[in-house]
């Protein structure tokens, strides 16, 4: 008999959901071969979601791609979804994540390791800086006490190895609002720790896994290519119709320069410096 995995969506419903569902079904078809899955839509519009303590009265809830206390909200939604499911394994998904063929294979292989007890928590996503542009597969140990965040496009865990939700939410509540902003930092709180008289010890095997998963940044009318989704994703971190001009916009070299050149290399094109007079010129040969 196969194990059971709860897959739940949280957060906002973004862009063309029919296209998202087509893309995600490819992942689900692969998962169905190794585990029984149940899919839940626990998104922000769900009437049974409950009231998140971190979003009431926050004036910055829909600020471009960043939210005032967004990290706290995301973690609260994760634990609220865990409360509403019973399967021994859980997977949290965003509605705007895009899976490529290579990422689907990697995620399924890593879930096999979770089912076998070799991994307890896996954080999946991509990273366009830190020399990680376009990584197909890069797996790193996550240690709660070591600085640095985790990816949160997809999170898979053995339910029994998660830190208790009340403990996590109480801790986030104790933080100043500005410390509740980053989901990449706060999702590390899922990692179970044991406290002794003098030290904390990490009880679980947690990993962050970089793979070719992108975030969807446009509402496509028809099913896009991986290449198109990737291009628009990179552009969103440079300048687009929703993101705002900030200090990073004028840094030389731009933080996304390596990512731009990686994407261009996939087209068979040479590198090109980002042009502050035309932030989309890099998309042309």
CATH number at 105 reads 3.90.550
Q: How many structural domains are present in the chain? A: 2
Co-location of 54 and 162 in the same domain: yes
Torsional sign, CA 86, 88, 92, 93:
negative
CB 193 within 8 A of CB 163: yes
Alpha-carbon distance of 166 to 172, in angstroms, equals 10
3-state secondary structure of 125: strand
89 within 8 A of 119, measured Cβ to Cβ = no
**The last residue of a domain, from among 213, 245, 274:** 213
Between β-strands 36-41 and 4-9, what pairing exists: parallel, antiparallel or unpaired?
parallel
Minimal CA–CA distance to 214: which of 141, 282, 134, 281? Answer: 134
Do residues 10 and 113 both lie within one domain? yes
Phi, psi of 57 (to 5 degrees): 70, 10
* Matching residue, tokens 């998104």: 43
Could you tell me the pLDDT band of residue 66, with boundaries at 50, 70 and 90? very low
Closest alpha carbon to 261 in 159, 131, 94: 131
Q: Is 218 within a domain?
A: no
Of the CA atoms within 13 Å of residue 68, those in its CB half-sphere come to 12
- Domain membership flag for residue 184: yes
State pLDDT tens for residues 127-151. 998 789 999 999 999 987 777 889 9
pLDDT at 60 exceeding the cut of 70: no
Is residue 242 within 8 A of residue 215, CB to CB? The reply is no
Q: Are residues 243 and 173 in the same domain?
A: no
Residue 111 backbone phi and psi in degrees, to 5? -65, -35
pLDDT beyond 60 at 123: yes
Q: What is the mean pLDDT of residues 247-263?
A: 81
Residues 264, 194: one domain?
Answer: no
pTM of structure: 0.90
Q: How confident is the model at residue 240 (pLDDT cuts 50, 70, 90)?
A: low
**pLDDT(229) > 80:** yes
2, 34 Cβ separation under 8 angstroms: yes
Rg (alpha carbons) of the chain, rounded to whole number: 19
- Average pLDDT value for residue range 219-233: 96
Q: Is the peptide bond before 149 cis (omega within 30 degrees of 0)?
A: no
Work out the mean pLDDT of the chain and round it to a whole number.
89
Query: Are 88 and 160 in contact, with CB atoms under 8 Å apart?
Result: yes
Query: d(Cα 3, Cα 113) in Å, to the nearest integer?
Result: 13
CA distance 119 to 122: 7
Q: Domain range holding 174?
A: 4-213
Distance CA 202, CA 194 (A): 6
Cβ atoms of residues 249 and 278 within 8 Å: no
Look-up of token digits 């409950």:
50
- Position 223 in a domain: no
Tally of CA atoms within 13 A in the half-sphere of 9 that contains its CB? 18
């Amino acid at each position: 008999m196969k194990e059971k995995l709860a897959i739940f969506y949280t957060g906002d419903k973004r862009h063309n959901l029919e296209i998202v569902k087509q893309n995600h079904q490819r992942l689900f078809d692969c998962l169905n071969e190794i585990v029984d899955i149940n899919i839940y839509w626990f998104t922000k519009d769900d009437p049974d979601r409950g009231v998140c303590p971190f979003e009431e009265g926050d004036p910055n809830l829909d600020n471009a791609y960043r939210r005032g206390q967004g990290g706290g909200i995301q973690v609260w939604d994760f634990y609220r979804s865990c409360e509403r499911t019973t399967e021994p394994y859980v997977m949290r998904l965003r509605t705007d994540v895009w899976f490529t063929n290579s990422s689907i294979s990697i995620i399924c292989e890593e879930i096999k390791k979770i089912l076998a007890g070799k991994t307890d928590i896996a954080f999946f996503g991509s990273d366009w800086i830190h020399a990680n542009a376009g990584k197909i597969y890069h797996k790193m140990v996550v240690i709660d006490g070591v600085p640095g965040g985790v990816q949160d496009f997809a999170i898979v865990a053995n339910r029994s190895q998660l830190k208790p939700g009340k403990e996590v939410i109480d801790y986030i509540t104790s933080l100043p609002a500005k410390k509740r902003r980053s989901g990449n930092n706060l999702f590390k709180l899922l990692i179970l720790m044991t406290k002794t008289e003098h030290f904390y010890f990490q009880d679980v095997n947690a990993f962050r896994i970089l793979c070719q998963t992108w975030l969807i940044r446009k509402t496509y009318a028809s099913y896009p290519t991986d290449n198109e989704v990737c291009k628009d994703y990179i552009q969103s971190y440079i300048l687009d119709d929703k993101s705002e001009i900030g200090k990073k916009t004028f840094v030389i070299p731009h933080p996304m320069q390596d990512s731009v050149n990686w994407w261009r290399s996939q087209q068979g094109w040479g590198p090109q410096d980002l042009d502050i007079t035309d932030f989309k010129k890099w998309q042309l040969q």
